[in-house]
Amino acid sequence: MGQGLDFAEIGLADRHGPVPGVMQMEGHGLMEWGDAPGWGALLFSAAALWVSLKAQKDGKRAADVAEATLARQIAAEEEAARPRVDLRLEHEVKDAYRLRNDGAAPARNIVFKDQELPYIFGLKGNEEVSLEQGEAVAFLMAGSIPPQLFAQWDGQEEWVPVRVPPKG
10 Å Cβ neighbour count for 108? 15
Does 36 or 67 have the greater pLDDT score?
67
What's this model's pTM, rounded to 2 decimal places?
0.54
What is the C-alpha separation between 70 and 65, in angstroms, rounded? 9
Nearest alpha-carbon partner for 86 in 75, 100, 98: 100
Predicted local distance difference test score (pLDDT) of residue 21: 56
Mean pLDDT of 67-74: 89
